[in-house]
């Protein structure tokens, strides 16, 4: 079955540590996205990539970094520069041609203590 896998589902880290969230898709989608959701907030775009080896900042990229070395994978690193990293992180992908087949992973809840 095709889909997007985010791992782990829950992640705990100490303040000041970098942490990397995994996102893998086997849908053969060109574009991949990282969103953050906070309580009472909508989804805010962190980074997106429309093709391998290329990515663009979204609306709240500060304190985050990404890479897109393979079509299937789009890992997100939450760095120590991110002032409020505790949140629910969602990865999504879409095929070339638009947003009609936007598919989400099940998310990673990151808690920084």
Residues lying near other proteins in the complex (CB under 8 A): 4, 6, 9, 31, 40-45, 48, 50, 88, 90-92, 94, 97-107, 109
| Min dist. Cβ of residue 37 to other proteins (A) | 9
Nearer to other proteins, 53 or 106 (CB): 106
Nearer to other proteins, 66 or 91 (CB): 91
| Min dist. Cβ of residue 28 to other proteins (A) | 15
Nearest-angstrom CA–CA distance, 13 and 1: 32
Nearer to other proteins, 73 or 103 (CB): 103
- Residue matched to tokens 């909508």: 42
Nearest-angstrom CA–CA distance, 90 and 24: 12
Cβ atoms within 10 Å of 72's Cβ, excluding its own: 18
| Min dist. Cβ of residue 62 to other proteins (A) | 18
| Min dist. Cβ of residue 16 to other proteins (A) | 26
List of residues 6+ apart from 27 with CB closer than 8 A: 2, 3, 4, 93, 95, 103
């Amino acid at each position: 079955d095709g889909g997007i896998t985010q791992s782990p589902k829950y992640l705990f880290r100490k303040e000041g540590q970098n942490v990397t969230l995994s996102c893998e898709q086997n849908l053969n989608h060109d574009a991949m996205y990282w969103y953050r959701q906070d309580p009472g907030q909508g989804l805010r775009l962190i980074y997106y990539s429309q093709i391998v080896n290329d990515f663009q900042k979204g609306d709240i990229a500060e304190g985050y970094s990404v890479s897109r070395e393979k079509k299937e994978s789009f890992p997100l690193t939450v760095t120590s520069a991110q002032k409020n990293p505790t949140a629910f992180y969602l990865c999504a992908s879409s095929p070339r041609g638009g947003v009609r087949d936007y598919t989400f992973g099940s998310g990673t809840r990151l808690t920084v203590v």
